[in-house]
Amino acid sequence: MRNLRAVGLLLAGTALLAGSFTAGSRWLTDRDATSEVDGRTDTVPRHEVARSISGHLTLPVILRGPRSVDCAKDLRAVEGARTHCTAHYLRGTDRDMTVRVVRVRHGEITYVRDVPHR
């Protein structure tokens, strides 16, 4: 009876751990975002793009994302438009990435980031 209970606890713990890794992995690989376009400039400001990317690089429970993200320029509301961004981590490590517009619709753009270069 005791062994059966121990095996049950072990299986439940393993399932919980696997689910946590799957959710965290999905969070970090989810690379698209949608933002409103500034009607005056027809762009999404670079600080908004950086904020969105920073949120995607941080796990929801374990806050181990970048300390900051900087983007070179505003993101134009044109499919295929790109900007270069850099994520700055606490250990002094920087990760470069490219952000690209994939859809423009009704005053909003959807953009994706590539996997940060190591």
Domains of the chain, by residue range, sit at 1-30, 31-113
pLDDT given for residue 25 in this prediction: 37
pLDDT value, residue 60: 61
CA 66 – CA 51 distance, rounded (Å): 11
Which pLDDT belongs to residue 65? 79
Whole-prediction pTM value?
0.68
SS3 content of the chain, % helix, strand, coil (to 5): 35, 35, 35
Closest CA to 47 of 63, 68, 31: 68
> How many angstroms separate the first and last alpha carbons of the chain?
50
| pLDDT tens per residue across all 118 residues of the chain | 666 665 555 555 444 444 444 433 333 345 688 899 999 999 999 999 999 988 878 766 556 778 899 999 999 999 999 999 999 988 888 999 999 999 999 999 999 988 655 5
Task: Note the pLDDT of residue 5.
Answer: 63
Amino acid found at 40: R
Q: Are 72 and 83 in contact (CB under 8 A)?
A: yes
